[in-house]
Structure 1
Amino acid sequence: MKGEEWYQADEVAQEYDVKRFSRGGRLIDRREKRAVLDALNPLDDRKVLEIACGTGRFTVMLAERGADIVGLDISSAMMAEGRKKARAAGVADRIEFIRGDAARLPFPDDHFDTVFAMRFFHLADTPAKFLAEMCRVSKRQVFFDTFNDRSTRVLYNWLLPMGSRLYGHDEVKRLIDGAGLTLTDANHDFVLPYGFYRKIPNRLAGAFRSADTAIGDTPLGDHVASVSYWNAHV
């Protein structure tokens, strides 16, 4: 995985949410959570696995809405932050955090109703292997996002501490087919990249988001969007 050592550092885990989801990043947080909820609902009593759960942003949210969820991550420090969130939200009994390798998931076939991963595939060195494992342990649904190779993200990708793997839409569709999944829905968003929103005050983010979505709603929008959300079924 790209940036594996960086990602597991204690100081990265402690500052992760603040650096990415403060200022204009709050808008990103809301949009990503809405994308997950739109794809995964209804959640009552559903067995869910989150790959690369990190600090538990989505894990805790889904547990609050009735899911029984396992959060898997390679970073113990990240999951420690997630456990704090779960206890504060009163849903620790609905979440199990497990340190593990997404390429060799420690679960039997068809163990979960839904398996999903956010902000994971841009770090993946073997995406086909990871997606095949997600498919193997899911009996119904696989959901994930990718960063796109025709977007403004290309302009600053080299500045990131670990770099990012960028995908074309056709490449992702081939990965989905290769994993034995059927694509049921795809949404493409954020003409302006995440890094831009994180640099501006939250009070300005809404105005830029309006312009962003106006472009995104045109035929050009899908081609230049920086992020795609892929909803597939087994």
Structure 2
Amino acid sequence: MKGQEWYQTDEVAEAYDAKRFSNGGRLIDRTEKGAVLDALSPVEGRRILEIACGTGRFSVALAERGADVVGLDISGPMLRQGHDKAVSAGVRDDADFLRGDAGRLPFPDDHFDAVLAMRFFHLVDDPAGFLAEIERVSRHQVVFDTFDRPSLRTLYTWALPMGSRLYGRSEVRELLADADLDLAGVDHEFLFPYGFYRQIPARLADWTWTVDESLRGAPGVDRLATVSFWDCRVGD
């Protein structure tokens, strides 16, 4: 998987949230959390696995709403951030953080009600294999996002520290079919890419988001959205 070494450093883990979710990045955080909670709700009492949980922002948000969450990541420093976040939020008993490889999940079949994988598929070398493994441990639902083409993200993805795999929508649908996952819903968001929003102040980002939403409402324009949120059901 791309970025394994990069995410292992204490410096990256400690600066991760501040770098991505301050200023205009706050809007990204709100939008992503909203998409996750809309897809997974109601979460109370559900057993949920978050793959590539990073600093635990989704795991903690789900635990705060009554879910029993396991956050799995390959980076020890990122997991420590998630653990500290859970302690601060008072949900340490409802959010466990484990170090592990998403390609070989240490859980039996059908172990979770739902599996979440955000900011993950753009890094994987074998999306079909990872999706099959994710489907294996879920008995009901799989939620994930992709960075998409064609989109403005194409203009700068080559400059990112570990690159970024971009997906066409037909490609994702083929992956879902191969993994025996049924598409329940999909939202296509952000004409302007994340990197742009992170560079501008929060108030300007909110105004830009209004323009973004308006443009995406025009016929055919949402095909240029940079991010898609996929909500899937495990087949019989």
Give the TM-score range, shorter chain. Answer: over 0.9
Tell me the secondary structure at the aligned position of residue 55 of structure 1.
coil
SS in structure 2 at match of 1:44:
coil
Q: 2:144 is matched with which residue?
A: 144
Q: Which residue of 2 aligns with 1:160?
A: 160
Q: Report deviation, 1:219.
A: 2.3
Give aligned-pair identity as a percent: 62
Q: Please state how far the C-alpha of 1:7 moved relative to its aligned partner.
A: 1.2
Q: Cα offset for 1:203?
A: 1.6
Runs ≥4 residues deviating over 3 A:
none
- CA distance in 2 between counterparts of 1:212 and 1:67 reads 32
Secondary structure of residue in 2 paired with 1:166: coil
1:64 is displaced (CA, Å) by: 0.2
Aligned to 2:216: 216
Q: Is the partner of 2:104 in helix, strand or coil?
A: coil
Counterpart CA distance in 1 for 2:35 and 2:116 is: 12
State how far apart, in whole Å, the 2-side matches of 1:93 and 1:124 are: 30
1:9 corresponds in structure 2 to 9
Number of residue pairs aligned between Structure 1 and Structure 2: 234
Which whole-Å CA distance do the structure 1 matches of 2:102 and 2:218 have between them?
Answer: 36
Aligned residue runs from structure 1 range 107-122, under 5 A: 107-122=107-122
Q: 1:85-112: CA deviations, max 9, x gaps?
A: 0000000000111100001100000000
**Deviations along 1:28-60, whole A, 9 cap, x unmatched?**
000000000000000111000000000000000
Q: What SS class does the counterpart of residue 122 from structure 1 fall into?
A: coil
**Matching residue of 2:57:** 57
For 1:83, give the aligned amino acid. H
Q: CA deviation at 1:121?
A: 0.2
Paired residues for 1:81-230 under 5 Å: 81-230=81-230
Shift, 1:217, TM fit: 1.6
For 2:220, the aligned partner's letter is L
How far apart, in 2, do the equivalents of 1:46 and 1:67 lie? 5
Q: How does 1:13-28 map to 2 (within 5 A)?
A: 13-28=13-28
How many angstroms apart in 1 are the aligned matches of 2:161 and 2:168?
A: 22
TM-score by length of 1: 0.99
- What 5-or-longer segments of structure 2 have no aligned partner? none
- Report the AA paired with residue 231 of structure 2: N
CA RMSD of the aligned region, Å?
0.6
Task: Indicate the SS of the match to 1:129.
Answer: helix
* Paired letter, 2:227: V
> In 1, distance between residues paired with 2:206 and 2:183?
31
- 1:41 equivalent in structure 2: 41
Q: CA deviation at 1:220?
A: 2.4
